[in-house]
Amino acid sequence: MADRDWDITIWRRANDLLQQAERIHRNFLRAAAGADVLSSRRGPTWQPPINVVETEESLWVISAVPGVAADSMEVHLEGRDLVIAGNRPLPKCCEDGELKIWELPLGRFERRLRLGGSENISVGETSLRDGILIIELKKRS
């Protein structure tokens, strides 16, 4: 592997770790402030991470939403924004326990992605498998 490739790999990994640390920090601050993380009546409490891949015909949005059932989330367009929203509840086995370590965000989530470009876009096929949500956004000319 060339030195330049190694540098790029290290910087990408560092960026991923920084984003993860920021998400954990936001979740910690919400817990410390006494936010009710399991209430779906409040605004979103976390944002799922995404990857976006562009082909000539489509944009593919891949989002990690482990523990979220397909019927407890929605995907739609609001103007030029793709909106992924839903709820990840605390598993039934843990409802009577005391939360000791909190790294997995729970409760209502929402992720908005501003779609650039001049193409008309529509939501195509969506699938959820093993906690990975895949959304096809079809480009129309």
pLDDT tens-place string over residues 59-69: 999 999 999 99
Q: Which two tokens stand for residue 136?
A: 């096809």
String of b and e for 85-106 (b: at least 16 CB within 10 Å)?
bbbbbeeeeeeeeeeeeeeebb
Question: Which residue bears the tokens 């929605």?
Answer: 74
In this prediction, the residues of the chain whose per-residue pLDDT falls under 50 are 35-40
Q: What is the pLDDT of residue 37?
A: 43
**Res 54: pLDDT:** 93
pLDDT at 30: 56
How big is the CA angle at 27 (ends 8 and 11), to the nearest 5 degrees?
5
- What number of other Cβ atoms are within 10 A of residue 137's Cβ? 22
CATH number (3.40.50.10490, 3.20.20.10, 2.60.40.790, 3.40.630.30) of 36-140 reads 2.60.40.790
pLDDT at 42: 57
Q: Tell me the pTM.
A: 0.68
